[in-house]
């Protein structure tokens, strides 16, 4: 948004109603302080919150039945218009909450003025944000679950492709591509846990906290919480209205998912270079160069990395926004909107991009195997074979080091060093020990828990599938906005 002029009310014609009690504020400043440009994206969440509030006011005797019916009808109608994309909140207002109230008052007259009893915009905005974060977190978990399922499939498919693992970006030890894909999935599962925590933390109703200390009106916060399918209510009004920890959790979780994707993306970007050439990039996802006809670029994965930067930016802006605020509400909190609203679509877009692009990547099994065929990456396996024969590890390490040195001196691969020469270094070397120079043998022997042996990778894949399933189960309990609207509308009054 252009911060100099407000696009929703360029002439500065904001807050024409006296509902906020500041009709005399300088119009340009009023326009500049408006959050409507951003929080109009939260209109459906806000309308659902208001529908629950009205229903509760009626249940506790603060609203006549006819008034409650009129208000609910108007709120649901606006929700449906918002869903269809036809809702017009044309009047310049300070924020979406005032815009809705202004419209209700225009439509319903005096009845519209009854809506805001026992509530403040401070708890109202917290409510809209919490519904938004819960919904976005659930949708994100659905995408993560899909990606994990895809990664599990892929890991199974690639369980026999052998390639080097890297430490310090230097060839280290042979692994399978299935094991690498399972590693990507593990990082994603931890990120999913952060999303799951963010969902749970957002899942408490703040409504009824009022401006900062509760209300003297006989409201029932639990009724609102139950209608909006929250797990419970927040416990201290003053804390609640200035609390954006659930937004910190959400932007942190979003950044975690994006970081997991970014690291996967870097592997892909590296492995599709002609220097590595472990992965072939399909034409369907390769971008060209406007000048260099030979180029097949992994732009999708580079953009995944850049989205991660934006995700970290969202988290950082929230951390800095909250830092140093006094207890209670401060208008600074209004500027949480960009970071919150950006995070969900940003994260899900990147998740979908990676899932869609992955199927157009093919491991070059032969090239991968060749990268570990000279035997050098199996030096540790040779040393461990000596340990199995009873040598102390340090002695085995030294003997194998001498073997590596000898092969280098002779200008041959470790894998082709004759047994007789090996025995001049140490008489513990025999055919069985040198057999582990075959990378496939070395991989098969890594049977320790969490290792790269195929049966271990199968266990890891099983775990990935289980987590994908758990995530998809968890989100069954989170209502989508449309479902919430239906269940709220079915509450008879």
Catalytic residues: 168, 289
Return the number of the residue (47 or 125) whose C-beta is nearest ligand ARG.
125
End-to-end CA distance of the chain: 42
Return the number of the residue (41 or 193) whose C-beta is nearest ligand ARG.
41
Return the number of the residue (179 or 329) whose C-beta is nearest ligand ARG.
329
56, 68, 100, 125: which one contacts ligand ARG (CB under 6 A)?
A: 125
Residue 15 as a binder of ligand ARG (CB under 6 A): the answer is no
**Shortest distance, position 63 Cβ to ligand ARG, whole Å:** 23
Three state DSSP letters for 183-205: HHHHHHHHHHHHHHHHHHHHCEE
Return the number of the residue (33 or 472) whose C-beta is nearest ligand ARG.
33
**Shortest distance, position 286 Cβ to ligand ARG, whole Å:** 44
Cα-flanking dihedrals φ and ψ of residue 65, to 5°?
Answer: -55, -45
Indicate the SS3 state at residue 167: strand
**Shortest distance, position 95 Cβ to ligand ARG, whole Å:** 3
DSSP string, 148-163: HHHHHHHHHHTTT-EE
- List the interface residues with ligand ARG, window 20-39 (CB under 6 A): 35, 39
What is the pattern of x (binds ligand ARG, CB under 6 A) and - over residues 407-436? Answer: ------------------------------
Residue 169 as a binder of ligand ARG (CB under 6 A): the answer is no
Provide the sign of the torsion angle of the four alpha carbons 472, 477, 481, 486, taken in this order: positive
Q: Which residues contact 328 (CB under 8 A, 6 or more apart)?
A: 212, 238, 241, 242
DSSP string, 314-337: HHHHHHHHHTTPPSS--GGGGGGH
Return the number of the residue (168 or 331) whose C-beta is nearest ligand ARG.
331
- List the interface residues with ligand ARG, window 303-362 (CB under 6 A): 331, 333-334
**Shortest distance, position 253 Cβ to ligand ARG, whole Å:** 22
Residue 95 as a binder of ligand ARG (CB under 6 A): the answer is yes
Answer for the pair 170, 87: CB distance below 8 angstroms, yes or no: no
User: Looking up tokens 């057999």, which residue turns up?
Assistant: 435
Whole-number Å distance between alpha carbons of 462 and 273 = 31
Tell me the window of 118-126, 143-151, 307-315, 420-428 that interacts with ligand ARG (CB under 6 A). 118-126
**Residue 282 corresponds to which tokens in the numbers above?**
């399909």
The helix or strand, by DSSP H or E, that contains position 366, with its residue range, turns out to be: helix 365-370
**Shortest distance, position 128 Cβ to ligand ARG, whole Å:** 9
Binding site for ligand ARG (CB under 6 A): 35, 39, 94-95, 121-122, 125, 331, 333-334
């Amino acid at each position: 948004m252009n911060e100099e002029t407000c696009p929703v009310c360029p002439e500065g014609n904001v807050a024409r109603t006296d509902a906020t009690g500041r009709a005399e504020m300088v119009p340009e400043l009023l326009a500049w302080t408006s959050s409507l440009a951003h929080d109009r994206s939260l209109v459906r969440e806000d309308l659902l919150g208001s529908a629950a509030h009205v229903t509760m006011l009626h249940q506790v005797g603060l609203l006549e039945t006819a008034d409650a019916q009129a208000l609910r009808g108007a709120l649901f109608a606006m929700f449906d218009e918002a869903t269809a994309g036809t809702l017009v909140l044309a009047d310049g207002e300070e924020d979406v909450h005032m815009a809705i109230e202004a419209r209700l008052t225009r439509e319903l007259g005096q009845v519209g003025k009854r809506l805001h009893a026992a509530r403040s915009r401070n708890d109202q905005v917290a409510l809209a944000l919490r519904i938004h974060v819960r919904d976005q977190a659930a949708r994100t978990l659905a995408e993560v679950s899909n990606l994990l399922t895809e990664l599990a499939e892929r890991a199974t498919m690639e369980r026999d492709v052998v390639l080097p693992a890297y430490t310090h970006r230097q060839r280290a030890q042979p692994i399978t591509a299935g094991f690498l894909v399972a590693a990507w999935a593990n990082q994603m599962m931890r990120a999913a846990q952060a999303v799951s925590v963010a969902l749970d933390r957002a899942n408490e109703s703040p409504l009824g906290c009022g401006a900062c200390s509760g209300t003297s009106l006989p409201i029932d916060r639990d009724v609102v919480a139950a209608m909006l399918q929250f797990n419970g209510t927040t416990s201290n009004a003053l804390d609640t209205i200035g609390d954006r920890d659930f937004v910190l959790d959400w932007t942190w979780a979003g950044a975690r998912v994006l970081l997991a994707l970014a690291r996967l993306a870097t592997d892909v970007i590296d492995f599709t270079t002609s220097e590595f050439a472990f992965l072939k990039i399909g034409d369907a996802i390769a971008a060209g160069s406007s000048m260099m006809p030979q180029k097949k670029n992994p732009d999708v994965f580079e953009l995944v990395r850049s989205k991660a930067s934006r995700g970290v930016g969202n988290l950082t802006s929230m951390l800095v926004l909250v830092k140093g605020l006094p207890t209670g509400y401060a208008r600074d909190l209004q500027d949480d909107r960009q970071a919150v609203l950006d995070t969900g679509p940003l994260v899900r877009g990147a998740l979908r991009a990676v899932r869609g692009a992955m199927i157009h990547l093919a491991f070059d099994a032969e090239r991968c195997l060749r990268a570990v065929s000279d035997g050098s990456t199996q030096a540790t396996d040779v040393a461990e074979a000596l340990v199995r024969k009873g040598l102390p590890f340090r002695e085995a390490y030294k003997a194998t080091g001498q073997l590596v040195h000898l092969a280098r001196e002779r200008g041959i691969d470790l894998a082709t060093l004759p047994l007789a020469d090996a025995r001049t270094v140490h008489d513990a070397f025999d055919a069985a020990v040198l057999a582990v120079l075959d990378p496939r043998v070395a991989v098969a022997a890594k049977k320790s828990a969490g290792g790269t042996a195929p049966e271990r990778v199968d266990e890891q894949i099983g775990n990935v599938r289980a987590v994908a399933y758990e995530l998809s189960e968890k989100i069954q309990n989170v209502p989508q906005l449309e479902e919430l609207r239906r269940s709220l509308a079915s509450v008879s009054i």
